[in-house]
Structure 1
């Protein structure tokens, strides 16, 4: 049987023998909102846990944190509507005093071409700042109870009214994205992100969990310290259309959106599989190797011990993180990566090598990717053509049970025994 699976902006076709047992795990169907702008206006009228803009004191400056192009947030639709609402609510607010801070955490700061791809053309005279976690000026605003320094881009930190826009999606150790994460990671210093992410292997830090999750709790606390007042969060369909929209207090909004995301993307798992074929879900989820790794988390959970995993990830922007590349290139095996990571203090970049190694040390992992062979070899990863790889595996396991995860980056499993 022929299957078409997303790969970059297009699709990749694979053929599986009709005799095989194949299960395809997809998010539940969600009808996109018929009129998202009308719902957005109503949500701004009645935000969760905070007063509407019109009931707030008029600020002298506003900062809006928005995601970079690795997140398919519908900025071109929602940002103009938000700006119009802001200037209607605060008629004395100077347009140049509104800053749109594009934050991608440790991703490279977006250049003009990237900004043009994600931002609407008419920004109503507002300024745009591209956040760079390693180079941008940051304001130290305090410490969380877990010892994370709250260091936020000054263009955002110095504003009187702080807003964040983002999508809520499952995350392999934060539990779910959304809420203040677009500020507490997106617009944070490298030191702040490192301090927060060092808790990724602690109890409670796993996909789909926000209760007792130390990483998520730390982000929420950091957002409060940073003074994030209003969050605008969406849940998207696999086609990247808006399925649900929430406005209000960041932690409350994140939890409301997480409940909807959990309903759509949390799947039951009754068995393990010999072969797992995982697609990140296409662009922009597979924009680079650093992002594509997230597709391995559900794949490793549904693969049997020693099972085989094929990850489909185009990676047009390459590996995506120089520190990860420099770290993993020091080793000759995934076991060595795991030993070194557990022996030393937490370091960003190294954590991504750990997450890859955690899967690759227990499973045969092959990537179908446009990355050059030298790049995959440098990262200790095996590159192979999808169909050729699968044909070889089918010869080894003629009666293989196969799972296909067409949207692995937005899927998580609730194990059912």
Structure 2
């Protein structure tokens, strides 16, 4: 079995009697061409697009390179629909929803915009530039919402992206294009802080978890912020594990997103009968393993299939390192209690992800195959390996002779769920 790693792959061989199953979404190949899927979704917005008027300024928000969405397919079709409504290309602008991520290169802009590159202006959101930000309101929980000024000054706002699981917001897509996508750093931090229960030492809110929107405080803050912006509509894709567009959802930003989340959960949650001693997880290759922060998703989802104290082998190249300059600094805290206390007093989104990673590194034994320096992997509480073969040899020394195993070839997309 070949498991993706960056742009390459490793071959895994396991004794058949040890394998409980290969955890992958139970989906077939997309029936229609991507262009047909996008066109059919946008047909549902025809009436809304029909209210657009020549001379109006339109902002199209889309994701950065760390989240492949199929934008090079859907953006040209969307622009074509807007042009048919009389919107001039010079009145359209693509805003890349970086959140707190790094700026994109010109080559990355080209990959995002596809054939529109050079025709439609594309700009990166900057969460730290006060001149580009505007305060728009306060949530019920007291979060000050400050977002990119462009979305407030535009006549029309369209949100685009892709729907998938998110380890504490429940799902990606939809309202996340606004918060954290085009929000200020302070707003991002405040909204993500809701992942923690009130009160020192009480840990993570149990409703802020993968695949759950109901009562999720992080999702709630994102919804409130998006409602303040009042987007005209959204266009969100659902991708197959091999990154093909298999469905698209367009329409009112809340309803279309929730419809897409239901669709995704039905196809990308995998029912478990029992947990295993060993889980071998590939993030799914580039860009899902572009850095540690993105790779953590596969680590989080894969851990749901693992017995406490079990062994995880994680394939995550991390060619871009950690994904943020402050992420690795958090691992100066090795005690989870001290880590949580610092996180509460000096909250950072990167710190939240680092805290979640360290929790799993201490609950399980994680062997990481990556391009990261071995000493830094050890600092994060994991065991470094240069190849899958080396990782499996290390795992064999930690496992019982009668161990059981799961293999997850696309760990960034599928969620193992225990049957009750």
Is the Cα–Cα contact under 8 Å of residues 194 and 348 in structure 1 kept in the other structure?
yes
Equivalence for 1:393: 395
Q: What is the distance in 2 between the residues matched to 1:292 and 1:132?
A: 23
User: Is residue 171 of structure 2 the alignment partner of residue 176 of structure 1?
Assistant: yes
Could you tell me which runs of 5 or more consecutive residues in structure 1 were left unpaired when the two chains were aligned: none
Aligned CA RMSD, in angstroms, stands at 2.0
Task: Please give the secondary structure, in 1, of the residue aligned with 2:412.
Answer: helix
Equivalence for 1:107: 101
Q: Deviation per CA, 1:173-199: give whole Å up to 9, x if none.
A: 111111121122111111111111112
Is the Cα–Cα contact under 8 Å of residues 44 and 52 in structure 1 kept in the other structure?
no
Is the Cα–Cα contact under 8 Å of residues 99 and 156 in structure 1 kept in the other structure?
no
User: Is residue 292 of structure 2 the alignment partner of residue 289 of structure 1?
Assistant: yes
Is the Cα–Cα contact under 8 Å of residues 59 and 94 in structure 2 kept in the other structure?
yes
Equivalence for 1:212: 215
Equivalence for 2:198: none
- Post-superposition offset of 1:234: 0.8
Q: What is the distance in 1 between the residues matched to 2:411 and 2:126?
A: 28
Deviates more, 1:385-394 or 1:295-304: 385-394
Q: What is the distance in 1 between the residues matched to 2:281 and 2:36?
A: 36
User: Is residue 315 of structure 2 the alignment partner of residue 317 of structure 1?
Assistant: no
- Post-superposition offset of 1:245: 0.8
Deviates more, 1:68-77 or 1:344-353: 344-353
Equivalence for 1:77: 73
TM-score by length of 1: 0.92
Q: What is the distance in 2 between the residues matched to 1:46 and 1:393?
A: 51
Alignment partner of 2:129 out of 127, 135, 158: 135
Could you tell me which runs of 5 or more consecutive residues in structure 2 were left unpaired when the two chains were aligned: 196-203
Q: What is the distance in 1 between the residues matched to 2:71 and 2:325?
A: 28
User: Is residue 120 of structure 2 the alignment partner of residue 126 of structure 1?
Assistant: yes
Is the Cα–Cα contact under 8 Å of residues 319 and 375 in structure 1 kept in the other structure?
no
Q: What is the distance in 1 between the residues matched to 2:142 and 2:312?
A: 37
Equivalence for 1:12: 10
How many matched pairs? 409
Q: What is the distance in 2 between the residues matched to 1:321 and 1:178?
A: 21
Task: Please give the secondary structure, in 2, of the residue aligned with 1:376.
Answer: helix
User: Is residue 36 of structure 2 the alignment partner of residue 38 of structure 1?
Assistant: yes
Q: Deviation per CA, 1:239-262: give whole Å up to 9, x if none.
A: 111111111111111111111111
1:16-415 residue pairs with structure 2 within 5 A?
16-47=14-45, 51-56=47-52, 60-89=56-85, 91=86, 93-123=87-117, 125-135=119-129, 137-200=132-195, 201-328=204-331, 330-331=332-333, 333=334, 335=336, 338-341=339-342, 344=345, 346-384=347-385, 385-395=387-397, 396-415=399-418
Change (3 A) 1:392 1:367: closer
Is the Cα–Cα contact under 8 Å of residues 343 and 352 in structure 2 kept in the other structure?
no
Task: Please give the secondary structure, in 1, of the residue aligned with 2:293.
Answer: helix
Task: Please give the secondary structure, in 1, of the residue aligned with 2:116.
Answer: coil
Is the Cα–Cα contact under 8 Å of residues 334 and 360 in structure 1 kept in the other structure?
no
Deviates more, 1:351-360 or 1:10-19: 10-19
- Post-superposition offset of 1:116: 2.0
TM-score by length of 2: 0.91
Task: Please give the secondary structure, in 1, of the residue aligned with 2:249.
Answer: strand
Change (3 A) 1:199 1:397: same
